[in-house]
Structure 1
Amino acid sequence: MSEKHIYKVVFVNQEQVYEVYVGNVYQGDWYGFVVIEDFIFGEKSTIVVDPTEEKLRHEFAGVDRCFIPMHRVVRIDQVKKRGTAKIVALGKDGAERCDKVAPLYSPDKK
């Protein structure tokens, strides 16, 4: 019987670093895109324990697969168990900073 893998995918989206847990990651048919699917979130309860994870749950609600530009992916790890999905501000002015992530050149920046 094959073992079910869990992947932690870290990527940059709109000046924020997203960390999500998914069941499948692969190179898509569209050149330059990584596909993530089968999003894994914590059990839904009546008490919201982590508002960031709840925000991600709503953002990806109804999404079967997500196509991420390859140059926006920071890291993909195969992990033994799911952690907490989160969003961290990338900018210097953000309340939370992610100093270990440097954005690549993007043609829309001047």
Structure 2
Amino acid sequence: MARKRVYKIKFISQGKLYELFAREVGQSTMYGFVELGEIIFDEKSAVLVDPSEEQLKAEFAGVKRTYIPLHTILRIDEVDKEGINKITEATNADTNVAFFPSSLHTPGKDKK
């Protein structure tokens, strides 16, 4: 049986740094978004409860796929095994990211 891939995705949303583990990551058919599927939540220990992971479970309850804006993603890694999903406060180092130039939309004069 082939081993399923696991990805760790770090992105910023509403001033928070999200770190999620998912089995599916790909380019979305919606332009400018990355598609995540099968978000992995740790079900091994019901005794020890992590509040940030519980918050993520509630936020993504019933979600089959989520679409993350491309410009908010900091990093995507393929890893050997899943870890704990978490939300932390984004530090200045996390938000001080230089983006590649993009031609998504350039405000200015309309061409006639």
What TM-score range do you get, normalising by the shorter chain?
0.7 to 0.9
Moved over 4 A (4+): none
Unaligned runs of 5+ in 1: 91-96, 106-110
Query: How far has the Cα of 1:2 moved from its partner?
Result: 2.7
Quick one: distance in 2 between partners of 1:98 and 1:50?
A: 24
Q: How does 1:1-110 map to 2 (within 5 A)?
A: 1-43=1-43, 46-90=46-90, 97=91, 99-103=93-97
Query: How far has the Cα of 1:98 moved from its partner?
Result: 6.0
Query: In the comparison of the two structures, how many residue pairs are matched?
Result: 99
Moved more, 46-55 or 15-24: 46-55
Moved more, 10-19 or 47-56: 47-56
When the two chains are superposed, the root-mean-square deviation of aligned CA atoms in Å is: 1.9
Max Rg structure = 2
Query: How far has the Cα of 1:44 moved from its partner?
Result: 6.4
| Amino acid aligned to 1:102 | N
Quick one: distance in 2 between partners of 1:44 and 1:104?
A: 38
Query: How far has the Cα of 1:51 moved from its partner?
Result: 0.7
TM-score by length of 1: 0.80
| Amino acid aligned to 1:21 | F
Quick one: distance in 2 between partners of 1:18 and 1:98?
A: 15
List per-residue Cα deviations over 1:67-86 (Å, max 9, x = no partner): 11100111000000111111
Query: Identity over aligned residues, as a percent?
Result: 42
Quick one: distance in 2 between partners of 1:16 and 1:73?
A: 12
